[in-house]
Amino acid sequence: MITIEEWKTKLESEKCYDLVSELLERIEKSKLNAYITVCKDALKKAEEFDRGNLRGKLAGIPVAVKDCISTKGVRTTCGSKMLENYVPPFDAHVVEKLKREGAIIIGKTNMDEFAMGTTTETSYFGVVKNPYDLSRVAGGSSGGSGACLAGNEAVLALGSDTGGSIRCPASFCGVVGLKPTYGLVSRYGLIPYANSLEQIGPMACCVEDVITLLEVIAGKDRRDSTNAGVEFKFKKTDKKFRVGIIKEMGGNDEVMVRFNEVVELVERDFEVGEVNMPSFKYALPAYYIIATGEASSNLARYDGVRYGFALDELDNWAKYFSKVRAAGFGEEVKRRIMLGTYALSAGYYGKYYLKALKVRTLVKRDFERAFSKYDLLIAPTMPTLPFKIGELADPLTMYKMDVNTVPINLAGIPALSLPAGFVKSLPVGIQIMGNYFEESKILSFAMEIESVFKEVF
Amino acid sequence: MLSIEDVYKVAELAKIEISEEEAKKFRKEFESIIEYFNQLDEVEEDVEPTFQVLPLKNVFREDLPEKGLSREEALANAKHVEDGYFKGPKIVE
């Protein structure tokens, strides 16, 4: 894995053009399938850097961007046949910011179709393979962003997280990934799946690089009406944090053995206690009701008229619309749109959607209570190690893999997945949660234990 | 219980044409997923729903003219275009 510092050291003795060419060659030969589209422009940008014309905090650094984030003039597929040939006429806010800071956008990363999945197996462009075991998944939905970092195919990556889509691949690929507080990063230009839950966030090979990338992408943007309008500047906190272990977030034996070792290590330097979150029992069904409900409404825009997959013959509208969507969407997307449609249909609104929003209030309250006692909460990011490709065929079994990650999105708090070494040669991640806009606490703590983990695991 | 007709009805509402095979598969899957959703019936506590998590209210911006997409840019991703307009399917027979 390549950190910003390592890349900058290389830039002192080598041309950016040569380094980027090498990176592009590696991507070309790669078996990971981490990228859907590689940016032809990258070499031109590298030349610009070599001429001294590319400046900023990320000058000359190759960054991979998840393919649900709009890039002007570069096709943005969202992992779907529906958008296979879609070329956005504008940049997402985060992409504007990357460009302003001199980053080299190296390519668009593979993902579950419309970010609906936990393994990247629903991508129209094929599954992303885990760099540590090619027969296993890299996680999802930002699987390409996780795999490209672990596979030395980028230095930084952007992902998006609706119910764990940054933290899951970070855990499965042994990299660091942060889902920021809802509203910290503008969603302008993020192709929507479930607006009230999702955030764009940074992924990198170390905590320090996550901080650098978050400082670049966070901040005010009036084009996203849910943007909190605050900037992010990391403040190192040396405080002795009080750390809570969430009883309701667990994992299988392989994961729990490592997690218990983590707890022992944390206990050496921090005050540690346990906390109960009774509402979490209902968090997963509530999440899937809200997410599929929002998806059914959001994805109504794909009508085969203004953009996206279209048929040659324009029929009557109901037939045309239904045929375009039948051919353009994959199975999981159809499943979620239909589930959401069902949950929102007449007679069911109160039973499902409204009830789920009430559970959301209960989840929020549980977190509020926990944060009145603890600065940070920890748990395993994923309940299992990366599974075999094709292992989870049943949708509900797959949904249940998100059990530790979705409560965070329901509440809108920030959470980071940090690598905690390997079990059976596969990466394991722990999840560190903080209160609203307390990313600095999470990141300070993560930096401290990152170095401990590197020594011990 | 979810009938096969229910699945077709939802597909029609969602404007997704599905095959008989798909309908059968979805019926089976939806049944277990909806059963899972029904767990929420156990929640008795009545609280205010949370639609969004931040205490934001009525976010307005200045109503100022700005440059939008050009006609060319707006139409670039459409397959059916005529005289500078999107061409859509028939709405009235």
Each residue of A194-245: pLDDT tens digit?
Answer: 999 999 999 999 999 999 999 999 999 999 999 999 999 999 987 789 999 9
B38 located within any domain: yes
CA distance A430 to chain B (A): 24
Mean predicted lDDT score pLDDT of chain A: 97
Give pLDDT tens digits for A73-102.
Answer: 999 999 999 999 999 999 999 999 999 999
B25 located within any domain: yes
Residue B8's domain is classified under what CATH number? 1.10.20
CA distance B70 to chain A (A): 10
Whose structure tokens read 């944060």?
A: A371
Confidence of residue A370 (pLDDT cuts 50, 70, 90): very high
B23 located within any domain: yes
Instruction: Count how many domains chain B has.
Output: 1
Confidence of residue A315 (pLDDT cuts 50, 70, 90): confident
CA neighbor of B52 nearest in space, from A181, A166, A451, A440: A181
Tokens of A376: 């940070």
B34 located within any domain: yes
HSE-up (13 A, CA, CB side) for residue A332: 26
Q: Which domain holds residue A289?
A: 1-457
Instruction: Count how many domains chain A has.
Output: 1
Q: Which domain holds residue B34?
A: 4-42
Identify any residues that bridge with A275 across adjacent strands, giving them in sequence order. A246
B19 located within any domain: yes
Quick check: A329 and B59 CB within 8 A?
A: no
Confidence of residue B91 (pLDDT cuts 50, 70, 90): confident
**A positions 269-308 inside 8 Å of B (CB):** 281-282, 285-286, 288-289, 296, 300, 303-308
Q: For residues A56-66, give the mean pLDDT.
A: 98
Q: Is the pLDDT of residue B78 over 80?
A: yes
Contacts of A79 (CB under 8 A, 6+ apart): A36, A67, A68, A110, A111, A112, A113, A114, A115, A120, A122, A123, A124, A125, A141
**A positions 383-402 inside 8 Å of B (CB):** 394-396, 399
B48 located within any domain: no
The beta-carbon neighbor of A196 closest among B40, B52, B77 is B52
Q: Is the pLDDT of residue B92 over 90?
A: no
B11 located within any domain: yes
B86 located within any domain: no
Query: What's the CA gap between A195 and A283, in Å, rounded?
Result: 17
Confidence of residue B93 (pLDDT cuts 50, 70, 90): confident
The beta-carbon neighbor of B80 closest among A281, A310, A362 is A310
Residue A441's domain is classified under what CATH number? 3.90.1300.10
CA distance B85 to chain A (A): 10
| pLDDT at residue A346 in the model | 86
Contacts with A196 from chain B: Cβ below 8 Å: 51-53
Distances (CA, A) of A97 to A2, A101, A445: 22, 6, 27
